[in-house]
Structure 1
Amino acid sequence: MYTAEHSHSAYIARLMSSRPVERLTAELAFELEEKLHQTWSPEQIAGDQVCESPC
């Protein structure tokens, strides 16, 4: 039998289990802040991160 409460609970459980793992570490945050202070643009930082991290 369908109940809205059960459906909503199942939805919340699926939502919580599908959250991506956080990738922002303290070290990465520090590097990003340093590059911004060096007047790097967000596009330059994003391009640099792609080159440094393996896909």
Structure 2
Amino acid sequence: YEICSDDLITYAQAQGWLSRNVPNTQKINFRAVYGTIELYPSDNENFASRPAVETLYNTQVR
């Protein structure tokens, strides 16, 4: 998390995505958190209930 903003980590902890004493080696899967099948969601209040979208391409696919 040395490259993440402190506000981002605090927000992730407040949402329950991370525990309060998470080690620096653990990663947050923001793609799963922010993924949605709707291009422009009407609100940002339903993170936990949004379905995750499959990735179209990543370096592991090659």
TM tier relative to shorter chain:
under 0.3
TM-score scaled by structure 2?
Answer: 0.25
Q: Which has the higher contact order (CA 8 A, sep 6+)?
A: 2
Say which structure is richer in helix.
1
**Based on CA coordinates, which of the two structures has the bigger radius of gyration?**
1
